[in-house]
Structure 1
Amino acid sequence: MTFFTVKYKKGSDLMKALKNKSLLADLALLLVAIIWGGGFIAVKDSVNLIPPFYQMTIRFFLSTVIMAIIFNKNLRKATRADFKMGTIIGIFLFLGFALQTVGIVYTTASKSAFLTATYVVLVPFLNWAIFKLKPDKFSIIGAILCLIGISFLTLQGGLNFNGGDILTILCGIGFAGQIITIGLYTKKTDPIILTIIQFGVAAILSFIMAIFFEPVPQFETKLILPIAYMVIFSTTLCFIIQNVAQKYTSSTHAAIILSLESLFGSLFSVLIFGDKFTFSMIVGCIFIFIAIITTETKLSFIFKNNNSEDLLADKELEVASGENIE
């Protein structure tokens, strides 16, 4: 699955095409952030009726079934290497959700939202440490500005650490690992295959945790719509988009854009539930907006980047494209 097909004539045409693909990928990830932000509203009441690990089991199992039916031809082509890569992504996905689920029991929702979003800063540095992919200064600045903005959006009563907060920070590492491995592996194989496998792995691990640590929930009809939103939109659709889009953009770009989930969640809460839009939320939005502009444009409209920075940006796009072009 690709966004479009292009023919390359010269080096400049190649870079223009890659930048166009990167822009489309970033816009696709923005859609994911919007849907995930709406997910806070859609599943607001379901968390009180379905234990967390059973909820994870339902969303990932049903998403696996849907994906396997729709993309059965893709799945039949899966290799042993695909299952290995998909399993690694699925483990990171499960760890992110599981640690967040346990951590939120011992901390506040606002602190959980902020600490989870620390992956936006972790991704570029983990990429640097593990894969020697040094991020450009604009990506680092954008990541830090984005985290500051999220803090204004989510933290109202300060940040005092406890055990739950530590678990939530670890969950941020889990999500960072998921974003990084998606960015790495989708350039090597079919993103659809990886999506199906990671869902299956996350479903199995969630079910194991559920049967050992949670009571069996009783189903209520009012859960149908929240579960449908969670399975169809927040999980199946969003992770397909994420896995495909990250083939054409960098992990740092993906982390910053996906972190807008907290921004859209706050905005939807204001619009739908009438939550108060505070001054700190306005400040947070401004910081996040500046972060996105910094990362996407590298502030080229203010000053010209030197040739080495342009080459670094071009190299990043070449790596993000995952294509070998002669």
Structure 2
Amino acid sequence: MKQTTADLILILIVLIWGSSYVAMKWGMDSFGIYSLIALRFSIAFCVGILVLWPSMSKIYLHTLASSAFLGFCFFCGFIFLLVGMETSPTTSAGFLMATTIVFIPIIQALVFHKIPNKFLIIAILLCLSGVGLLTIKEGQTIDFGTIICLIAALCYATQIVTTKWVLSSGENAVTIGVLQLGFTALFAIGPAFFLEMPLQTVTLTSGMIILYLAILCTLIGFVLQTVAQEFTSPEHTGLIFTLESVFAALFGYLLLQEVLPLHGYIGVILVFSGVIIAVRHGKSSGKKQNLTS
């Protein structure tokens, strides 16, 4: 797979994930945070095992360990995101999650001593400026929800960098992609059982929301992300993921009537510009990158 193809797959994924912010907001009307995560990832894992088992490789102890760590990153990221969304609008939460692009090169530099090229640096600055404009509100300081969403972004950045490292060590992308869903569900089941039982009556609407989140946003989204990441860099992944905030704002406007101010739309343009620069001019050398180089 070419890096451009992998980047385009990631763009499709973040389009789907952009809609998930609205779905999660609706889902929290019927389920607790832990229950929402447990149901979403349990269904995704079970369907993934049934459908993708022929494509999965033999499972070793190090495969389970890697999947468990990635699942823990997902679990923490979703907990912080959903808590943040309780006090922040869908649009703001989406754009705060785009700060993942800032944490990725920091982690890369600290852990792997890897510095992004000049095009990626320009793209990061554009995206960061755009996110800044999108989160500015007149007379408002950074609140609790903002801080929590930033912690969620750090968790996702850790997951993205670790995924690339795990795949570079020879792990099967589909196997890791499916198993991490199971571990995420496992981490959520305990708190859901002790803190949020019994569940409210599941309506047709809430059931459809869970299935949408589980199958399209989780199983297809996260497995494709893991496969695509094998052929692109963590920096590219993080930059493309800033589009998730743009799509979240779009769906927030269409479905929740959340409207951006003028400077917010300028921020959208900056984010799009940064991603375009990254995809067109920030290519890495070779088919795959070795993070230890």
1:136 maps to which of 110, 117, 128: 117
Q: Name the aligned partner's letter for residue 320 of structure 1.
A: K
> 5+ unaligned residues in a row in structure 2: which ranges?
none
2:103 maps to which of 111, 122, 136: 122
Residue 293 in 1 paired to residue 276 in 2?
Answer: yes
- Map residues 1-326 of structure 1 onto 2, 5 A cutoff: 3=1, 21-75=2-56, 77-107=58-88, 109-157=90-138, 160-187=141-168, 188-218=170-200, 219-276=202-259, 278-298=261-281, 316-318=284-286, 320-321=288-289
Q: Name the aligned partner's letter for residue 236 of structure 1.
A: L
Deviation at 1:223, TM superposition (A): 1.3
Q: Name the aligned partner's letter for residue 193 of structure 1.
A: T
Secondary structure in structure 2 of the residue aligned to 1:296? helix
TM-score normalised by L of structure 2: 0.89
TM-score normalised by L of structure 1: 0.81
In structure 1, how many angstroms separate the alpha carbons of the residues matched to 2:4 and 2:287?
Answer: 15
Q: Which segment is superposed worse, 162-171 or 285-294?
A: 162-171
Q: Name the aligned partner's letter for residue 215 of structure 2.
A: I
Residues 278 and 115 (structure 1), Cα distance of their counterparts in 2 relative to 1, 3 Å cut: closer
Deviation at 1:109, TM superposition (A): 4.4
Residues 95 and 157 (structure 1), Cα distance of their counterparts in 2 relative to 1, 3 Å cut: farther
In structure 2, how many angstroms separate the alpha carbons of the residues matched to 1:154 and 1:226?
Answer: 27
In structure 1, how many angstroms separate the alpha carbons of the residues matched to 2:149 and 2:195?
Answer: 19
Deviation at 1:177, TM superposition (A): 0.5
Question: Number of aligned pairs?
Answer: 288
Deviation at 1:107, TM superposition (A): 4.8
> 5+ unaligned residues in a row in structure 1: which ranges?
4-20, 299-312
Kindly provide the CA deviation profile for residues 51-108 of structure 1, in whole angstroms up to 9, marking residues without a partner as x.
1110000111011101111122344611112111111111111111112223444555
Residues 106 and 212 (structure 1), Cα distance of their counterparts in 2 relative to 1, 3 Å cut: farther
Percent identical across equivalent pairs?
26
Q: Which segment is superposed worse, 70-79 or 222-231?
A: 70-79
Deviation at 1:50, TM superposition (A): 0.8
Higher relative contact order (CA 8 A, sep 6+): 2
Residues 123 and 76 (structure 1), Cα distance of their counterparts in 2 relative to 1, 3 Å cut: closer
Secondary structure in structure 1 of the residue aligned to 2:286? helix
In structure 2, how many angstroms separate the alpha carbons of the residues matched to 1:269 and 1:161?
Answer: 21
Q: Which segment is superposed worse, 202-211 or 288-297?
A: 288-297
CA RMSD, 1 decimal = 2.3
